[in-house]
Structure 1
Amino acid sequence: MVLGDEEAAKALNAQDTERPAQVRRAALASAIGTTIEWYDFFLYNTAAALIFPQLFFPASSSYAGAMQSFATYAVGFAARPMGAAIFGYWGDRIGRKTTLIVTLLLMGIASGVVGMLPGTETIGVAAPIILVTLRLIQGIAIGGEWSGSVLLAMEWGDQSKRGLLGSFAQIGVPVGLVLGTGGMTLLSATLSDEAFDSWGWRVPFLASLILVGVGLMIRLRILETPMFAAVVAEKRTSRSPVVDVAKQHWREILLSAGLRFSEQMPFYLFTSYVLVYVVEEREFSKTFVLNAVLVAAALELVTIPWFAQLSDRFGRKRVYLTGAVLTGLIAFPYFAVLENGGHLILFVAVVLSMIPHAMQYGPQAALIGESFPTHLRYGGAGLGYQLASVFAGGPAPLLATWLLHQTGTPYSISVYIVLAATVTVLCCWFLPDRSRSDIADPATYSPRPTR
């Protein structure tokens, strides 16, 4: 099954007749879709730090409970490349739009079930098993969501503004973080500890079902992207897009994965692990640190599109490399503040730590997406982006917890961050910058024909 000829023709004709409206819809659908996906994902991250250890692993010590909770958290990251492969196949076969509707439904339903899941004291060992299964489903959905959302905006819009348009999908991360963390912060601040731990944390998970309905309404109104519609109309889709992209563009996939180390790994330390460290080690309140993360996420609503726009002007790699170097430079000062700083300076450190992240995350969508041809772009960009989750984002809070326990000093985590920044600088250096190139497949290109 591939994109129908009639819908492909609609998308191609819309380039002239409805292009401005479709570009706006694509950008909106991209931003709102990823917002909902990341809202659900970050809710789990926050609950994994604050709620799940005692709810699903009550017999464990504080350290063991945190390790077990972050292990289930890591499972979602391990599933992401699987989702990228599954939905990459369909995204490069039947199109971006249909695939994105499925990923949105998967994530929303899984999150709603998490919000209704009883704890270990109620249903025993089945509780953590179901929790891990739902986290796997979330990871698969996120794995298929990202590249489709990025391409939806990038392939519809002005090609001289690909960095800015691709960043609409990236904005979903801070918006999702604001909504998810903001919901948890509000409930944590207004409810007693007993009420929050027993039922308050469930409310934001259940609310995701409403958000999914809104997202579906928006995504159903958009057309397929003109670039992919042209591939379909000229019968140039691949029979096995994921296999083909792995064979033909393995170098770009690996470099795209390495590109993300200094962006993704510190991000999850600065937004998720920090909740554990500041509350457990410094004995600051949950509400205080949640507020700091919330303000940091709000700052990224401005900085992500700004740095993406700068990449359209000055080139992706120049902006991206600057962010990676800054990440390495702040690694030791950041944990020095977390270990010794007072409330004000610690709050400022958590907020400002997001600036180097935004310098990378803003241009990242276009930098990775531009590295692959249209007929293989969904799978190639998705695999490159999500492969990093297995080695960078997923294990980060788990390894940070282990490093602090083994060494007794948070500066071992700083070394971890510097190593990640080094990997990113090297991979970014070797990945070609195509920010000034035409990324549409030439009409003369002929991959293996579709059956």
Structure 2
Amino acid sequence: MTLGDNEVTQSVQASSGDRRVQVRRAALAGSIGTTIEWYDFFLYNTAAALVFPHLFFPASSAYAGVMQSFATYAVGFAARPVGAAIFGHWGDRLGRKATLIVTLLLMGVSSAIVGLLPGAATIGIAAPLILVLLRLVQGIAIGGEWSGSVLLAMEWGDQRRRGLLASFAQVGVPVGLVLGTGGMTLLSATLSPEAFSSWGWRIPFLLSLVLVAIGLVIRLRIMETPMFAAAVAAKRTSKAPVKDVVRHHWREILLSAGLRFSEQMPFYLFTSYVLVYVVQRPEFSKTFVLNAVLVGAAAELLLIPLFSQFSDRIGRKRVYLTGSLLTGVIAFPYFTVLTHSGHAMIFLAIIVSLVAHSMQYGPQAALIGESFPTHLRYGGAGLGYQLASVFAGGPAPLLATWLLHATGTPYSISIYIVASVVVTAVCVIALPDRSKADIDDVRVYAR
């Protein structure tokens, strides 16, 4: 199955005015789609830290309950490369648009079901088992979402602004974090602890269905990207795109995964594990930490496009490496502040940590996406991006919990962060910088 002839022709031959409209729609569709996906994902992350240990693992000790809750959290990350492979195949066969509609529906429905799921006190062992299954579905959906959202904007727009345009999909992460964390913050602040734990936390999950309806309306109005449509017209698509990209571009896939270590792994410590770590001090509430994360995420709304635009001017690798090194520099001071400082300094530390994340996450979309040819780009970029989830993002809160328990010092987590920076630096240096290259390879091939 491929695109219809009419859609291919319309996309390839779109006038300059039509292209401008489609660029705006593609940027909006990418950002809103990823906002919905990450809203659902971050709701789960917050609930995993605050609600799930006692709701789904009530028989466990406090430490074991947190470990089990973060283990279900990690399952979603393990499923992401599977989603990248499944939807990467169809994204490079059917096109970006059709594939993204499926991922959106999959994520929204599975999240709504989480909001309806009874606890272990009601249905016993079935509760955590169903929770794990739904987390798997979420991970598969996220695995297929990211690359399509990035390519939708990047392949429609001006190549001189690829970094900025691709970053609109990245903005979905802080927006989703603001909405998801903000919803939890509001509910936890206005409801009694008993009401929040029993039913209040479910409301944001159920609202996913409303957001999905909005996202579908927007995505259905987008045409297929001209780059992919040109590949279809030139009969340059692959019958087995995932197999081909692994065979011919395995190096780019591995380097793309490795360059994410200092971005992804610390990010989930800064936004999820911090909720568990800080509230161990009795003078700090869950609401305080959620507010700090919320303000940091709001700052990222401005910083991600800003640093992405810088990468269009001075090169992606330069901006990306600066953000990675900044993450390493703050690794030890960050936990010193969380352990010993007061409210103001902790609030500031959480915000600074997300500034370092923005410097990497903004340029990252284009840096990875432009490393693969058009007809294999959905699968290649998705696999590279999502493989990091297995080794960096997913295990991060779990390993941080274990490291603190095993060593008794948070600085073991700081060492863990610095190690991720070393991996990233090596991979970024090894990956060619194609910031100024022409990635419309079908047109280049035809010259």
Q: Sort the TM-score into its range (normalised by shorter chain).
A: over 0.9
Query: Is residue 114–residue 131 contact of structure 1 (8 Å, CA) maintained in 2?
Result: yes
CA RMSD of aligned residues (A): 0.9
CA–CA distance in structure 1, aligned partners of residues 350 and 259 of structure 2 = 23
Post-superposition CA distance 1:13-68 (Å, at most 9, x none): 22434011110000000000000000000000000000000000000000000000
- Structure 2 match to 1:449: none
Q: Does 1:39 align with 2:39?
A: yes
- Matched to 2:398, the amino acid is L
> What secondary structure does 2:13 align onto?
helix
- Paired residue secondary structure (1:401): helix
Correspondences of 1:247-326 after superposition (within 5 Å): 247-281=247-281, 283-326=283-326
Map 1:365-444; keep pairs closer than 5 Å.
Answer: 365-443=365-443
User: What CA distance in whole angstroms lies between the structure 1 residues aligned with 2:75 and 2:378?
Assistant: 23
Give 3-state SS (helix, strand or coil) of 1:18's partner.
helix
Aligned to 1:234: 234
Question: Which digits, 9 at most, give the CA deviation of each residue in 1:196-250, with x for residues without a partner?
Answer: 0000000000001000000000000000000000001111100100000000000
1: CA distance between counterparts of 2:2 and 2:191? 50
Residue in 1 aligned with 2:246? 246
Counterparts in 2 of 1:328-343, with a 5 A limit? 328-343=328-343
With over 3 angstroms needed to count, the CA separation of the structure-2 counterparts of 1:27 and 1:112, relative to structure 1, is same
Distance 2:349 2:324 in 1: 17
* Alpha-carbon distance in 1 for matches of 2:245, 2:378: 10
Kept in 2: contact 1:32–1:215 (CA 8 A): yes
Deviation at 1:443, TM superposition (A): 4.6
Q: Which residue of 2 aligns with 1:345?
A: 345
Offset of residue 280 of structure 1: 2.2
Question: Cα distance, 1:4 vs. partner?
Answer: 1.1
Amino acid at match of 1:178: V
Amino acid at match of 1:375: H
Distance 1:71 1:291, change over 3 A: same
Alignment of 1:125-140 (within 5 A): 125-140=125-140
What residue number does 2:105 align with?
105
Q: Which runs of 4+ in 1 moved over 3 A?
A: 442-446
Instruction: Please report how far the alpha carbon of residue 345 of structure 1 lies from its aligned counterpart in structure 2 after TM superposition.
Output: 0.6
Unpaired runs of 5+ in structure 1? Answer: 447-451
In structure 2, C-alpha distance between the alignment counterparts of 1:377 and 1:249, rounded to whole Å: 10
Q: 1:146, 1:28 → 2: CA distance?
A: 14
Structure 1 residue 186 displacement after superposition: 0.2
User: The residue matched to 1:434 in structure 2 has which SS?
Assistant: coil
Q: For the residues of structure 1 that align with 2:439 and 2:247, how far apart are their CA atoms?
A: 20
- 2:230 and 2:442 in contact (8 A); partners too: no
Partner residue in 2 for 1:155 = 155
Q: Closer, same or farther in 2 for the Cα pair 1:77/1:178, shift >3 Å?
A: same
Deviations 1:104-135 (A, max 9, x none): 00000000000000000000000000000000
Cα deviations by residue, 1:330-369 (Å, 9 ceiling, x for unpaired): 0000000000010111111111111110000000000000
Amino acid in the other structure paired with 1:35: T
Rounded Cα–Cα distance in structure 2 between residues aligned with 1:362 and 1:98: 25
- After TM superposition, give the deviation of residue 281 of structure 1 in Å: 4.2
2:322 & 2:414 partners in 1: Cα distance? 18
Structure 2 residue identity aligned to 1:196:
F
1:10 matched to 2:14? The reply is: no
SS at match of 2:207: helix
Whole-Å Cα distance in 2 between the matches of residues 219 and 302 of structure 1? Answer: 24
Preserved contact between residue 185 and residue 290 of structure 1 (Cα < 8 Å): yes
> Offset at 1:406?
0.3
Distance in structure 1 (CA, Å) of the matches to 2:141 and 2:333: 36
Q: Which amino acid counterpart does residue 394 of structure 2 have in structure 1?
A: G
TM-score (norm 2): 0.99
For the residues of structure 2 that align with 1:105 and 1:211, how far apart are their CA atoms? 10
Residues 161-190 of structure 1, C-alpha deviation per residue, up to 9 Å, x if partnerless? Answer: 000000000000000000000000000000
Inter-partner Cα distance in structure 1 for 2:370 and 2:433: 8
| Alpha-carbon shift at residue 283 of structure 1 (Å) | 4.8
Q: What letter is aligned with 1:26?
A: A
Contact 1:2 1:94 in 2 (8 A): yes
Partner of 1:57: 57
Q: Secondary structure at the match of 1:236?
A: coil
| Post-superposition offset of 1:407 | 0.4
**CA contact under 8 A between 2:231 and 2:442: conserved in structure 1?**
no
Q: Secondary structure at the match of 2:130?
A: helix
Q: C-alpha distance in 1, partners of 2:418/2:126?
A: 39
- What amino acid is aligned across from residue 126 of structure 1 in structure 2? A
Whether the 8 Å contact between 2:317 and 2:433 is mirrored in structure 1 is yes
| Distance in 2, Cα, partners of 1:148 & 1:359 | 22
User: CA separation in 1, counterparts of 2:95 and 2:4?
Assistant: 10
Post-superposition CA distance 1:74-115 (Å, at most 9, x none): 000000000000000000000000000000000000000000
CA contact (8 A) 2:270 2:353 kept: yes
What letter is aligned with 2:436? R
Q: Is the 8 A contact 1:58 1:120 kept in 2?
A: yes
